[in-house]
Amino acid sequence: MELFFETLTGLREKLATKKVSPTEVLDALKKRVEAVEPSIRAFNHIDWETARAEAAALTPEDLAKPLGGVPVAIKDVMAVKGQPLTCSSRILKGFVSPYDACVIEKLRAAGAIPLGRANMDEFAMGSSTENSADGPTHNPWDTGRIPGGSSGGSAACVSADEAIVALGSDTGGSIRQPAALCGCVGLKPTYGRVSRYGLVAFASSLDQIGPLSKTVEDSARILQVIAGHDARDNTSAAEPVPDYLSGLNQGVKGLKLGVPKEYFIHGIDPEVEKIIRDAIQHLSDLGAEIVDISLPHTNYALASYYIVAPAEASANLARFDGVRYGARVKDGKDVIDTYCRTREKGFGSEVKRRIILGTYVLSSGYYDAYYLRAQKVRTLIRRDFSEAFGKCDAILTPTTPTPAFKIGEKTEDPMQMYLADVFTIAVNMAGICGLSLPCGFAAQGKHGRLPVGLQIIGKAFDEATLLRVGQAYEQSTEWRKERPACA
């Protein structure tokens, strides 16, 4: 088997026993990227020379570390020293990061090699990776379709075996949704579990970094490395990090898994609903107790999210003014004109739409009517989950209402695009954790096979239960062995 087909766990065994070298792994990935990247376009930038130099410099002690010699693709929203940091936006073209994000420091300390800048929706604002100044990424299962977003490049490169594992960020579903549409595993940790230091902020109270991988165990291994308190991030939680691998294979017997009626709604694709219900039945057959629950304020999650997130974005993106770093128009009449024209030319239409919306809901006379009310709804959503977890250990839902749609199909209708995240947004609003993993295929698309994802939602800081449930399902099914059309 080619090295690029390996899982992180399998590759680690080969590296630790010196069956392969880190440079051999990179050479294999380079071969794969050259073969499929023209049709996938998952990366904005890869510096093979630097990555190879880092691989060659690894010592035997480095290779004995948890991720020794493993290349990790990085979404282009996290700082990696000496590499471009553009957030797939024209306004940051040419900007090179002067430092490493906390998660990159932790990856390096564990022996990993940061590899490439994965494409994304500009400033993580989107559900399809079509809002990128570098052009859209394509779904490996059907290149005429979107990979999801905003971490579409991260999901696509893992699915297409251009990377062993990747990091993404999730503000309203941006890890889980593309993982579902590309047929890989995506984990959104609890807010505060992973440091956001060095992550370019979209919505500071919602953003969270997490892994995209080929298996549940691989996600557990990455989370083990990147989780933990960081004093540089004042939202980082001082919570102990458990051993995620030790309880991974305990099975689901004795667990109560909740199924909320609000997630099986009008508009969900019939094939998706059947596949999810079959997955729920499978977990029941494995010994889990399935219980019906209600999350009554789910219907308000999407509307409140699109007030809170743009409001925070309007403040966070004010720093991109063409004065301190990034692109700048050269013929501005004065500072204000330069500032305005730089932002006009530098930001794409979706980013502008959200900045305008966010500024509006924070403005005098509208703050109480919109922003304050959205925050009250957020409290109710959090309360819904708290009450539900009094009846169950984890919650099962679809990750997305439909399989991947065609590129260009929803770009003219922002509301339809926003609805792609209808099942993932509430998790971010509540600040809890969620996992998406493959659970079947819809008989749609060019090849008649589009991945469907099962979402498992957990209590705050209880990623261990998500991983346990996901592992039980994954290892008792064959979906993880399926390969996309580009393979």
pLDDT digits (tens, 9 = 90+) for 42-78: 999 999 999 999 999 999 999 999 999 999 999 999 9
Catalytic (active site) residue 128? no
Does the pTM of the predicted model rise above 0.85?
Answer: yes
pLDDT value at residue 487:
63
Reading the block at residue 443, the tokens are: 């008989």
Flag residues of the chain having pLDDT under 70.
487
| Residue 1 buriedness (CB in 10 A; 0-12 / 13-18 / 19+) | exposed
| Nearest residue to 112 (alpha-carbon basis) of 76, 83, 82, 80 | 80
Q: How far apart are CA 214 and CA 5, in angstroms?
A: 9
**Residues, the chain, total?**
487
Rounded Cα gap, residues 203 and 424, in angstroms: 15
The predicted structure's pLDDT at residue 34: 97
Identity of the amino acid at 298:
T
What gap in Å lies between CA 32 and CA 21, rounded to an integer? 17
Strand pairing category for 256-260 and 289-293: parallel
366-409: pLDDT as tens digits: 888 899 999 999 999 999 999 999 999 999 999 999 999 999 99
**Which residue among the candidates 97, 174, 195, 436 is catalytic per the annotation?**
174
Q: Which residues contact 311 (CB under 8 A, 6 or more apart)?
A: 358, 361, 362, 371
Four-residue CA torsion sign, 226, 231, 233, 235:
positive
Active site residue 127: no
Residue in 75, 214, 410, 459 annotated catalytic: 75
Distance in angstroms (rounded) separating the CA atoms of residues 487 and 484: 6
In the chain, the domains with their CATH numbers are 3-254+470-481 (3.90.1300.10)
- What single letter denotes the amino acid at residue 215? T
Please tell me the predicted confidence (pLDDT) of residue 327.
85
Q: Are 280 and 290 in contact (CB under 8 A)?
A: yes
Sort residue 440 into left (φ over 0), alpha (ψ -120 to 50) or beta. left
Q: Which residues pair with 374 in a beta bridge?
A: none
Task: Determine whether 150 is an active site residue.
Answer: yes
Tokens 């109710």, located at residue: 380
Residue carrying structure tokens 């990147």: 226
DSSP characters for 35-68? HHHHHH--EEE--HHHHHHHHHT--HHHHTSTTT
- CA-CA distance, 46 to 35, in Å (whole number)? 15
Active-site residue, selected from the candidate residues 97, 132, 150, 195: 150
Q: What is the DSSP string of 350-386?
A: HHHHHHHHHHHHHSTTTIIIIIIHHHHHHHHHHHHHH
Of 444, 388, 142, 458, nearest to 274 by C-alpha is 444
Q: Provide the 8-state DSSP code for 221.
A: H
Is 130:149 a contact under the CB 8 Å cutoff?
yes
pLDDT at 23: 97
Q: What is the pLDDT of residue 267?
A: 86
